[in-house]
Amino acid sequence: MPRRTPSRTVPGELALIESIRTRAARTDSLSSALKIGIGDDCAILRPKPGHDLCVTTDFSLENVHFHRDWHSPQSAGHRCLARGLSDLAAMGAEPVAVFLSLALPAHTPAAWVEDFLDGLLALAARHHVPLAGGDTAQSPASNRNHPGLIAADIVAVGQLPARSPRLRSGARPGDAIYVTGALGGSGAELLSLARNPKKSRSFAAPKAAAPAHPHLYPQPRLAQGRRLRSLAHAMIDISDGLSTDLAHLCRASGLAAELDEAALPIHLLAVAAQRSGLAPSALDLALHGGEDYELLFTAPPTARIPRSIAGVPIHQIGTMRPPSRRQPLIVLSTCASQKIPIAPAGWEHFRPENRTK
């Protein structure tokens, strides 16, 4: 399957694999840790001396994580890889290789797969990480009228100095809570796409990845994660929503949290969504919207946390505190000087009301 093949659908598996291998070979030099890439039964990685490997995996499922009618294939590919790289960022890791497994319906357009790889490989090149292997399969048709769904699984491998990961369980009482970037933008853009799916076609090219499109082209905070590795006590990426991911961190650390409403960095798209009536509340999008892929971390109140890292602002938004049976896990100190409980209300699979994530 050469670039821009006139074929209307994906060719046989061997041709598909050869096409991916040819394109992925251009990324082999991006990491010194990759010794053997696509072409053998296994890839071979060799981390730097004194470093540990960390591994994460993430599904991207059609009609769950993306819609072909809503998301360009470039956006779907970018988002597939961004999910895995964001997990590495939350550990403070440097990416060394990624692996992609694709399940495709029999009559998937060849151009869709090519454009999907455009989006994925453009992001891989930006962060100097090679595509080192994976797998392909034909997904089954569910019935005569439905040809089947696309599933993409990304495995991301990173390295970091031994004994230096930033875990969810590392927060301490009195720690300040911080986030990178802004919150609620991805949820706001998703609402906009749901109203007018054709809008996404205006942002199909990988070069369109920009802060103006936090849902279509989220940016994993790898540089920020590596810098924060020496400053933070605990860290997690905001994939399921601030309320849900902060709850994960609280439970892992055995602590509770108090957020400051006035300090929350709300994305301009979330504010616009409220003003236009697309969303009832920008604050709700910031707390529960999900898929912002910013870093949420805690650090000692005396730590010298920079105001920005590599151009991405950092905001202090609250404090970790000891747990109490009489107090909720998370409270929000409002601009009206009230303290209201915040229940985790971000994304959770198997909840019937959930939409595309």
Q: pLDDT at position 354, please?
A: 52
Residue range(s) in the chain whose domain bears CATH number 3.30.1330.10: 13-161
- How is domain 168-341 classified at the CATH fold level? Phosphoribosyl-aminoimidazole Synthetase; Chain A, domain 2 (3.90.650)
Q: Give the residue-averaged pLDDT of 232-239.
A: 97
Instruction: Give me the chain's average pLDDT, please.
Output: 89
- Checking if the pLDDT of 261 tops 60, the result is yes
The model's pTM is: 0.90
More confident residue, 263 or 31: 263
In sequence order, what are the residues at sequence separation of 6 or more whose Cβ sits closer than 8 angstroms to the Cβ of residue 145? none
**Residue 182: count of CB within 10 angstroms of its CB:** 23
Q: Give the residue-averaged pLDDT of 58-75.
A: 91
Residue range(s) in the chain whose domain bears CATH number 3.90.650.10: 168-341
| Residue bearing tokens 């010794």 | 35
In sequence order, what are the residues at sequence separation of 6 or more whose Cβ sits closer than 8 angstroms to the Cβ of residue 196? none
Q: Please report the sign of the dihedral spanned by the C-alpha atoms of residue 314, residue 164, residue 59, residue 242.
A: negative
Helix, strand, coil shares of the chain as percentages rounded to 5?
30, 25, 40
- How is domain 13-161 classified at the CATH fold level? 60s Ribosomal Protein L30; Chain: A; (3.30.1330)
